[in-house]
Amino acid sequence: MKKTRSQGASASLRWWIMAIPALPVSAYAFYFIFYTPPGSIRTRTRLLSSIHGYIHIIAGGVAMILGPTQFVERVRRLYPSVHRWVGRVYAAAIFASGLCGLQVSMNSNAYPIGDYGFAILAILWMATMTMGLRTIWSGDVPGHRDWMTRNFALTYAAVMLRWQLALMIYSGLTLSGALTIAAYSCWIPNFIFAEWYIGKRKNRKLAIE
């Protein structure tokens, strides 16, 4: 029992570490619609020049808010219908934001190679969600959990992007240079960490069995 409580406390701590940064980033997304944050005039003007930019920002903010709730084990166990319905909204938000993000990525303020980085992120974001849906529809719960872990690691790219851009610009990089680097650095480490975490979780399960 002591070990179980320790594991539960550890899981709770990990959830808070993940969820707390997600909330201000979600708030930032909606603030971005109505106001211009410092240093974001060019980015805001470009993103909001088409309906795709609005959808990408709003749907992405919804996904960032809902994503952490899907990892609360108590909700999954006691309120499975809530988990399913929130998951459907989360999935719809990702496809909407991903498709529109793919559109706006080809005309970003980054250099061309950075545009490709954001495009790859959008494609992988939707692909991992597709696999998450396919596994749960086929009854593969462990597989679903793994794919949704990968997916949220990519959703979390929004958090990484915000603080990385701020640090890079503060250090003297141009907006285009910072965006080009962040087009890869905001999600590749996340994806690597997700794979490590999935492997660790599987090893722990094998050790228990």
Q: Is the dihedral of CA 187, 124, 133, 143 positive or negative?
A: negative
Specify the pLDDT at position 208. Answer: 64
Q: Are 168 and 185 in contact (CB under 8 A)?
A: no
Q: pLDDT for 91-116, tens place per residue?
A: 999 999 999 999 888 888 889 999 99
Of residues 49 and 192, more confidently modeled: 192
- What's the chain's average pLDDT? 84
- List of residues 6+ apart from 139 with CB closer than 8 A: none
- The whole domain housing 116 covers 2-208
Rounded to two decimals, the pTM is: 0.83
Of residues 92 and 71, more confidently modeled: 92
Specify the pLDDT at position 75. Answer: 85
170: pLDDT strictly greater than 60: yes
Q: Are 91 and 118 in contact (CB under 8 A)?
A: no
CA triple 181-128-53, angle to 5 deg: 55
| Number of domains the chain contains | 1
Q: How far apart are CA 63 and CA 66, in angstroms?
A: 5
Overall average pLDDT of the 42-70 stretch:
82
